[in-house]
Amino acid sequence: MYRAPLKDLQFVLNDLIGEGALAGCPRHADYSAELGVTVLEEAAKFAEEVLDPLYRIGDTEGAKWTPAGVVTTPGFKAAYQAFAEGGWNQLSGDPEYGGQGMPRMLGTAVQELWAGANLAFKLCPMLTQGAIEALDLYGSQAQKQRFLPKMVSGEWTGTMVLTEPQAGSDLGQIRTRAAPAGDHYRLFGQKIFITWGEHDFTPNIVHMVLARIDGAPPGTKGISLFIVPKFLVDDDGSVGARNDVQCLSIEHKLGIHASPTCVLQFGAKDGAVGQLVGEAGRGLEYMFVMMNAARLSVGLEGYAVAERAFQQAAEWARTRVQGRPPVAATGGPAPIIHHPDIKRMLLTTKSNTEAMRALAIYAASQLDIAAMHADDAKRAAAQLRGDLLIPVVKAWSTEGGIEAASLGIQVHGGMGYIEETGAAQAYRDVRITTIYEGTTGIQANDLLGRKLGRDRGAAMAALLADVAHELEAITTSDPAVQAAKRGALEGVAELAQATKALLGLLGGAQDRALAVAVPYLKLTGIVLGGWLHAKSAAVAAGKLAAGGADADFLRGKLATARFYAEHVLPGAEALARVVQGGGAAVAEVDAALI
C-alpha cells in the first residue's frame, strides 16, 4: 500500500528550497507554503484512495484492445474523470485557458504522487501537459482557442507522436507524409510506441504528430509538427466527424500494463486531417519543448517508483522474521531490518530517493524562475541552469529508480521474485523510464553537446560556484552535517576537475568524450545530491536544536545525509577517474572485437 511521502515533499518545498525562491515572479506572488501543503495533502488523498487501488489490478488485467481499434482499461476511466473533475489537470496550466497557474515546482511534487501511486495512469496527463506546452508556445491564436481550454481542463487528452518502425531515436528517418490540402494537410503513415494514443477516457484525443510535408528536404530539417485530433473539431469547439486515425494494436510490455502503447495508422483512407503548428520544417524544434517537459516528468517517475519500492521493502523488513542479527535485542530471531546489510540496502534507497527528489524540485524551481521572473537576466540564468539539470534529473533519477526497485526485490529475498508479493511490479514498471524521451546515453550526449558544449561549461561552472559557496556557509557543528559537508565539497572538486578534462576532450577527441558521457552525468547527479543532502542536514540540525516538531523525521534526515556522504559520495571519485582517463578504452576498441 502506497503512502504519499508528504513530510519529505513539504521539507524540500518549504525548508530546502522555500517559497522565497519564487520572489520576483509576479504570477506566483500569491503562492505560499501553506497553499503548497494544502494542495499536497489533497493530492495525497487522491493518490492513496483513487489511484493506488488500481495499481495492482492495472498490472494483472492491463489495457485491452479490440479489432475495431477500441482500447479500454480496468477502472481507469472513472479515475481519470475524477482526476479531471478535481482540477488536477489544471494545476500548472495557464489561467488564460482555465489553468490554476501553480508553480512548476509544486506541480513536480504533485506529479510524484501520481507516479508513485500508479505510474501507468500518470503517463496520460503527463503527455497532455507536454502537448499543451508545445501548443501554447508555437500554436496560432486560433489553434490555442480551439484546443487548449479543453486540454487544460482535462476534457481532452494529448499525445506525442514521434516514433516509426524504422525511426526510433533517429527522428531524421521519419517517413510519415503530410500532403497539402487547402488550409490543412492530410497525413499518411504509421507510428509506433504511442503512449495513451487510444483510450475511452475522453471524447477526443489531440495527437501532436511529426511528419514530412511533400517535397520537404530529407533529415531533421524537413520535419514539421501537426495537430491531428482523433475527432475533427468544428469552429464552435464541438467534436465533429471521426478523423482518419486508427489504433491498429497495443504492445505487450514488460510493465505498465494498464498504459496502452499504441500502433497508430494515419490515413488508411483519405488521409488524417492535420493543422500545421508554427512554421514548416521546425517540427523537431517544437517537439523538443514537449520532450523537455516530459524529461523532467519522466525523471520524477524514477524516484517516485523508488519511493514506492522503498516503502514496500521497509515494511517487509519490519515484519519478516529471519535469522539472528548481531544486534537483535532478544538474542533470537528478529525482523530482518536489524540485519546490517538489509539496513544498508534500505538506506541506499532512502538516501538516493531523497537526493533525486530534491534535485528534481530544485530544477523545477529554476524553470519557474526562467518562465516568470520579472528580471530578464535572472530568467536567462535560471533557464540555462534548468536546461543543464534536466538531462541529469531524467537519467540519474530513472537509473536510480531501477536500482531501488532491484534492491527492493533483494530485501524481499526469494519472495521478491514471486509476483504475488508485488515487489517485481515496481521493477518491471520503472524499467521503461530510462528509455522514455531518450535513453540515458542520449541524455548524457545532450548534457555534453548541447549544455556543456554550447557555453564551454559556463553554466556548470556557475552552478558549482554557487554550490561550493552554499556548502562553505554551513557552520553547524553536528557530526552528520559536517560529514555531509566534507563529502559534498570533495565531490564538487572532483566534478570540477572532471568537467575541465571533459571540455578538453570535446575540443579534439569527441569520441572519447562521448564514451564517458554517462559516467559524467551520473557523477553530476551524485555530487549535486550530496550538496542537497548537506543543506538538508543543516536545516534539520537547526530545527532539532530549536526544538522542532517531528524529531524522528529530522533525525532521519541527518542519518540519510551521513549515509549518503559515506556510502554514495565516495563513488564520485571513481566516476571522476573514469571521466578523466577512461574514454580511450572505449573509443580505441574496434567494434569487431566486441
> Which residues are known to be catalytic?
437
Calpha distance 451→291 (Å, rounded): 16
Calpha distance 437→290 (Å, rounded): 10
**Residue labelled with grid coordinates 557555453:** 455
Which residues, 6+ apart, have CB-to-CB distance to 268 below 8 Å? 244, 246
Query: Would you give the distance in Å from CA 468 to the centre of its chain?
Result: 26
Q: Angle between the 479-506 and 517-545 helix axes, to the nearest 10 degrees?
A: 160
Q: Which amino acid is at 260?
A: P
Which residues, 6+ apart, have CB-to-CB distance to 520 below 8 Å? 444, 447, 448, 498, 499, 502, 575, 579
Q: Which amino acid is at 365?
A: S
SS3 226: strand
| Strand segments (E) across 393-509 | none
Question: What DSSP character marks residue 167?
Answer: B
Query: Would you give the distance in Å from CA 18 to the centre of its chain?
Result: 21
E strand or H helix that includes residue 261: strand 261-266
Among candidate residues 206, 198, 4, the one with its CA nearest the CA of residue 112: 4
Question: What DSSP character marks residue 225?
Answer: E
Scanning 47-195, the segments in alpha helix (DSSP H) are: 55-61, 76-85, 104-117, 119-138, 141-153
Beta-bridge mates of residue 273? 186
